[in-house]
Amino acid sequence: MAKNIAIVEDDPDQRDNYRDAITKKGYEVVAYASREEALRGFDASLPDLVILDIILGEEVDAGFELCRDLLARSPSLPVIFLTERIDEIDKISGLRLGAWDYLPKPISLKYLAERISSLLRISEARAAGQATPSSSPSARRIGELVLDQEALLVSWKGQTIPLSGTEFRMLAKLVRVPGHAVSYETLMNATMQSLVTNNTINTHMRNIRKKFEKIDLGFSCIKSEYGYGYRWSTQ
């Protein structure tokens, strides 16, 4: 069955271009022009992946509000921001909300389609392996930490940590050689995103720490290396 992709974009030409390009890749696509229209559609059924602009009509933060609403309904839903708002504070806000990706306009339609395919593969692998990440042949164990490289799943002390794809890639890079410092530049490359700064990396790391601390208040494996990057310290 074809995956369902939702696009929320107020510019009719861009909306049609995105819809046509994604439909040609074999997906079912529904497009909305406003936050209110999108909410009515999401009340009827949730898609498998959502692409959001931030500014919708006169609402300058409508995309952020939609993201918050969607992830409250389905925390594992892949959300992509596709926007002309490329200031660092906007990107950080989107990442803190739990978006899987933050892409700047203009964008290659071919690249957008590839990002959608990649995130859907990750989502499917997670759904298939969520219950037993440690049983996968691609899993790697570092102390109490288990990483499933195929499903991009992480568990800590036997409990799954809900990291985004970007967060997983950063963590995997961080624990490649436990105890060794990893530079900001290396972590930026791991994000596979453009427009990444040290502050963006710091935001990702804070989010990762918080997710571990939700299940382990004593978690302290991620150490900051001032002015350089981060290090994974075995406890």
pLDDT in tens, 101-120: 888 898 999 999 988 998 88
**CATH 1.10.10.10 assigned to 130-232:** yes
Alpha carbon distances (Å) from 174 to 2, 143, 208, 221: 36, 14, 12, 11
Task: Name the residue ranges covered by the structural domains of the chain.
Answer: 4-124, 130-232
How far apart are the C-alpha atoms of 93 and 200, rounded to whole Å?
10
Nearest to 5 by CA among 27, 20, 38: 27
The answer, yes or no, to whether residue 177 has pLDDT greater than 70, is yes
The answer, yes or no, to whether residue 130 has pLDDT greater than 60, is no
Q: Which CATH superfamily is domain 4-124 in?
A: Response regulator (3.40.50.2300)
Rounded to a whole number of angstroms, the distance between the first and last alpha carbons of the chain is: 45
Nearest to 8 by CA among 36, 28, 38: 38
Instruction: Please give the share of the chain, as a percent, with pLDDT higher than 70.
Output: 92
Residues sharing a CB contact under 8 Å with residue 111, sequence separation 6 or more, in sequence order: none
Sign of the dihedral defined by the CA atoms of residues 148, 224, 210, 90, in that order = negative
Sort strands 49-52 and 79-83 into parallel, antiparallel or unpaired. parallel
Sort strands 139-142 and 101-104 into parallel, antiparallel or unpaired. unpaired
Task: Find the mean pLDDT for residues 171-191.
Answer: 92
Task: Find the mean pLDDT for residues 213-232.
Answer: 94
The answer, yes or no, to whether residue 8 has pLDDT greater than 80, is yes
Give the model's pLDDT for residue 217.
Answer: 93
- Answer whether 54's CB lies under 8 Å from 25's CB: no
pLDDT tens-digit map of 51-106: 999 999 999 999 999 999 998 999 889 999 999 987 878 877 887 788 888 888 98
Q: Judging by beta carbons within 10 Å of its beta carbon (0-12, 13-18, 19+), is residue 75 exposed, middle or buried? A: exposed
Q: Look at the chain and count its residues.
A: 235
